[in-house]
Amino acid sequence: MVKTDIEEKVKEVELVIQPAQVKGELETILYVPISDAGPSSGYRRFAPSWLFGITVILPLLVGFTYNFIIASERFVSSASFVVRESKNGGGIAAMINGGGLGRSDENSYAVSEFIQSRDAIGSVNYDEFVSKMYGADGVDMFSRFPGLFAGSSKEDFYKHFQHYVDVDFDVGTGITTLSAQGFSAEEAKELVRRLVKASEELVNALNTRAQSDATRFAESLVGESRAALEGIQEQVTAFRNENQMLSADAEVSVSSGLISGLLEGITRVDTEIAQQLASAPNNPRLTELKLRRTALVEQLDKLRRELAGGNNSIAKKLELFETLTIKQKIAQTNLISAEAMLMKARQDSATDKLYLDTVVTANSPDKFGYPQRWLNMALILFIGFSTFVIVSSIRDLIMEEG
């Protein structure tokens, strides 16, 4: 009973599959064996080909030939130094900070520029040391100078020299690090030693130039101020002789004394005249007193006119004299300032100096630093294989589009 019910339920859910009508004819499906797959799949994608040979194998062969057969071994020597500047003055603060000795970054930049300049080549190649080093028989064709690849002119020599010298200035510490390459340990050390010595000579030259310039300027200023003062003094002397005037204060004092005396004389005469008029108006002495008073008044008016009243008056002469006196005082002040400047310049020339202190002396390397053969080969392999993969992908994409 139970089985019959189950069978009936199964019949109810049975699916009926009937063939559908097919219009047209179906093409025969061809199956390609895996062994006949295209060259871009599986192992054959990376199989040796002309592209792989050009982008990977050929660069490796060229790199191996240069790094292990052609390239000359280059030794690297380095040294470090710092440019310091001593300053005069500063008192206790300068003593606490090291006696006024501090960094001079601007001069450090100047030294760095000098090392990479044409002047540096002339300073270290005075005996053809660098020329002989680059032109030695054991130097490879790419490092030799003069040569096919390096050139032969002075400009080519300057550019060639820069490839083997490197200088770096650390702003944080103020230390300049100099490194140079040579084809032997002694050549590299000697080149660095010469560059450091040339840098020290440059610092000394900057010292001498700054000191001489400051002293020369101060001396010229003193000479000009002294000449100006002498010229003013000659004008003052000529004015005194011409106007018979020793000094403005003395002239005013004399004139004031004369005026005061005349005023006192007039006052006394007026007093006597008043007494005579009161006691004996007909006294013949009264006429004499009046004549004396008239003379005193005329003398007073004359002195006043001479003191102030025209171009020949004492006031006008005093004005010119005071102008010359002011110019004389200014010239004296300028001369004093120039003398003080000259004294300070001489003191600074003895105390304010630049120093090139060597932090690390030039070393003599016991192993060559260049070429870095295995690193160069790894880089060549990486770049070549990356190029191969990129070019292969582009080629496959173009072929699929076609």
Q: pTM above 0.85?
A: no
Per-residue pLDDT for 16 more than 60? no
Question: What is the model's pLDDT at position 325?
Answer: 82
Range with the poorest average pLDDT among 73-82, 253-262, 327-336: 253-262
Question: What is the model's pLDDT at position 35?
Answer: 44
Each residue's pLDDT tens digit, 147-179: 888 888 989 999 999 999 999 999 888 899 999
- Mean pLDDT (whole number) for 17-42: 47
Question: What is the model's pLDDT at position 106?
Answer: 84
Per-residue pLDDT for 104 more than 50? yes
- Mean pLDDT (whole number) for 14-20: 48
Count Cβ atoms within 10 A of the Cβ of residue 157 and give its class: 0-12 exposed, 13-18 middle, 19 or more buried.
Answer: buried
In the predicted model, what is the mean pLDDT of the chain?
Answer: 78
- Mean pLDDT (whole number) for 347-358: 75
- Mean pLDDT (whole number) for 242-270: 70
Per-residue pLDDT for 74 more than 70? yes
Question: What is the model's pLDDT at position 76?
Answer: 93
Per-residue pLDDT for 316 more than 90? no
Question: What is the model's pLDDT at position 402?
Answer: 57
**Sequence-separated (6 or more) residues with CB below 8 Å from residue 123:** 194, 195, 198, 201
In terms of pLDDT, which residue wins out, 314 or 53? 53
Per-residue pLDDT for 281 more than 90? no
- Percent of the chain topping pLDDT 70: 75
Domains and CATH numbers, the chain: 41-71+373-386 (no CATH), 74-212+356-372 (3.30.70.1130), 218-351 (1.10.287)
In terms of pLDDT, which residue wins out, 223 or 99? 223
Per-residue pLDDT for 303 more than 80? no
Per-residue pLDDT for 21 more than 60? no
